[in-house]
């Protein structure tokens, strides 16, 4: 009888330690995913800060392109205000990326702008920021994959369900970004 009690105590202790390990693993992955999202936000803030300088530089050269500049500003403001789901934020950011491409396309029509040192510097900084955003998105998506897998596999899914852990959405490119870019000479 005494051995049975010790066996039950040992089984209960193992189950408790296992539950603690699963919970701590879920919290660790959740926090890493939240941190990865924060990294995206940091890079997006940097991009938001660069855009007004880029717009001012382009304005001096492209007087006839006010509609394009207006679209970029509106897309930037919309993206900055977006605080909804990851999918909504991604959609706003993808729209901003599309409008930024139009600014760089303008440079092809204005040789003086294309040669302007401020424009070139801003273009390089923005290009660097875009690369960092892409890296942050990949890092975030990797963390989302790990977290979602952890809460979906058995037996973790039982515990995750009881503790109300919800899966994260991936930060995905929109349809326009998936299409091939048309290059015309």
CB-CB contact of 73 with 21 (8 Å): no
pLDDT at 181 (0 to 100): 41
Give the fold, CATH level 3, of 25-168.
de novo design (two linked rop proteins) (1.20.1440)
What is this structure's pTM?
0.75
Query: pLDDT (tens digit, 9 = 90+) per residue, 5-63?
Result: 999 999 999 999 999 999 999 999 999 999 999 999 899 999 888 888 888 877 777 66
Using alpha carbons, select from 28, 42, 34 the residue that is nearest to residue 168.
34
Close Cβ partners of 42 (under 8 Å, ≥ 6 residues apart)? 136
Statement: residue 93 has pLDDT above 80: yes
* Sequence ranges of the domains in the chain: 25-168
Query: pLDDT (tens digit, 9 = 90+) per residue, 123-137?
Result: 888 889 889 999 999
How many helices, marked H, and strands, marked E, lie in the chain? 7, 0
Structure tokens at 77: 């403001």
């Amino acid at each position: 009888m005494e051995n049975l009690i010790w066996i039950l105590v040992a089984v209960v202790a193992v189950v408790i330690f296992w539950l603690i390990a699963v919970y701590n693993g879920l919290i660790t992955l959740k926090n890493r995913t939240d941190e990865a999202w924060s990294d995206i936000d940091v890079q997006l803030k940097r991009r938001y800060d660069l855009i007004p300088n880029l717009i001012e530089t382009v304005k001096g050269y492209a007087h006839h392109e006010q509609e394009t500049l207006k679209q970029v500003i509106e897309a930037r403001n919309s993206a900055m205000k977006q605080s909804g789901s990851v999918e909504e934020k991604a959609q706003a950011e993808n729209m901003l990326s599309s409008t930024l491409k139009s600014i760089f396309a303008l440079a092809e029509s204005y040789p003086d702008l294309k040669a302007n040192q401020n424009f070139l510097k801003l273009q390089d900084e923005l290009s660097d920021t875009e690369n960092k955003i892409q890296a942050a998105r990949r890092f975030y998506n990797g963390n989302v994959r790990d977290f979602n897998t952890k809460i979906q596999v058995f037996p973790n899914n039982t515990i995750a369900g009881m503790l109300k852990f919800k899966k994260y959405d991936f930060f995905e490119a929109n349809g326009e970004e998936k299409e091939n870019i048309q290059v015309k000479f």
